[in-house]
């Protein structure tokens, strides 16, 4: 049977990927952020999954604004890295896991989630930056297959936080019901607080961010109860990306163990964070 072994919540700021691609991770501006990643990276390298379910949002690179699905899932054998206007990142294309993807489609539809199914999909920084945070030197191939799950956080009305948490719970049940023996990691990406335009451009709220980092482990129901308006008011217009962390959290057990977390301001013009959780129930001594 398949098992969710760990979950990762992480920002997907495009400039994080650019700093890695351009060899700037030791520059004074970036070094504190990447130093904060190191313990999580070492632990994840020792606990490699067979498949990563990566919950992210497309940034109008594969899915145009003329047609924005609330939830979508990729079912392809592979996913090309998108050209976001500056050429494709020099990282490997992503290998899919169609069997697990199609199992998730069937189970989630049966649970009442009407998914858009993407049989072809280019993946942008929303997915590739979290992969680089997990595995900074993939070589010719990423260390695991990927199932991409897309969430609309771009265009109103976005799904509610409660609906995202429920989707994650359904994903967790579906993974547990997959017959093959797979180790699965679930990524929730985006955030933390930031706003890219308007009168509050540059807005960052460390108080809200630190509350979120604590509650995502211990009290996700509190976060699921927040409205869209509360997310945008407290975390900025792009801070609503944090609802994707709740998909990750919903897929995990009620009790999880924090392996490592880090928080840094600013990464570009955002608050950036990482929180890594072990989902396996400790065995009795």
Question: Do the beta carbons of residue 36 and residue 215 sit within 8 Å?
Answer: no
Bridge-partner residues for 147, per DSSP? 53
Active site (annotated) includes residue 47: no
Residue 62 backbone class (left: φ over 0; alpha: ψ -120 to 50; beta: rest): alpha
Of these residues, 97, 103, 125, 260, which one is catalytic?
Answer: 125
Task: Please tell me the distance from the alpha carbon of residue 13 to that of residue 199, in angstroms, as a whole number.
Answer: 21
Tell me how crowded residue 254 is: count the other CB atoms within 10 A of its CB.
6
Bridge-partner residues for 54, per DSSP? 148, 187
Tell me how crowded residue 126 is: count the other CB atoms within 10 A of its CB.
26
Spatial CB neighbours of 140, under 8 Å, sequence gap ≥ 6: 92
Of these residues, 103, 194, 260, 264, which one is catalytic?
Answer: 194
Q: Which residue carries 């199914």 as its tokens?
A: 117
Task: Please tell me the distance from the alpha carbon of residue 284 to that of residue 182, in angstroms, as a whole number.
Answer: 23
Active site (annotated) includes residue 12: no
Question: Do the beta carbons of residue 100 and residue 54 sit within 8 Å?
Answer: no
Instruction: Locate 65 and state its tokens.
Output: 């604004």
Instruction: Locate 196 and state its tokens.
Output: 């890219």
Please list the active-site residues.
Answer: 125, 194
């Amino acid at each position: 049977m398949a098992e969710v072994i760990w979950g990762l919540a992480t920002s997907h700021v495009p400039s994080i990927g650019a700093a890695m691609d351009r060899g700037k991770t030791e520059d004074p501006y970036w070094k504190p952020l990447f130093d904060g990643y190191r313990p999580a990276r070492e632990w994840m390298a020792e606990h490699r999954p067979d498949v990563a379910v990566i919950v992210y949002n497309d940034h109008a690179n594969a899915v145009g604004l003329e047609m924005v699905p609330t939830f979508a899932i990729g079912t392809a054998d592979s996913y090309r890295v998108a050209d976001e206007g500056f050429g494709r990142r020099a990282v490997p294309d992503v290998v899919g896991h169609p069997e697990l993807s199609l199992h998730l489609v069937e189970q989630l539809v049966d649970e009442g989630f009407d998914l858009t199914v993407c049989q072809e999909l280019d993946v942008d920084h929303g997915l590739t930056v979290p992969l680089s945070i997990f595995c900074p030197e993939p070589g010719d191939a990423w260390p695991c297959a990927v199932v991409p799950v897309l969430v609309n956080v771009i265009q109103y009305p976005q799904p509610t936080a409660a609906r995202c948490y429920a989707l994650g719970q359904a994903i967790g049940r579906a993974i547990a019901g997959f017959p093959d023996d797979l180790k699965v990691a679930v990524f929730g990406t985006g955030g933390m607080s930031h706003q890219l335009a308007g009168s509050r451009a540059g807005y960052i709220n460390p108080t809200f961010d630190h509350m979120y980092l604590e509650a995502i482990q211990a009290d996700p129901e509190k976060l699921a109860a927040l409205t869209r308006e509360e997310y945008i008011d407290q975390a900025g217009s792009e801070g609503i990306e944090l609802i994707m962390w709740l998909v990750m959290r919903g897929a995990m057990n009620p009790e999880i163990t924090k392996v490592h977390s880090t928080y840094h301001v600013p990464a570009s013009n955002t608050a950036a964070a990482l929180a890594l959780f072990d989902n396996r129930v400790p065995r009795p001594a």
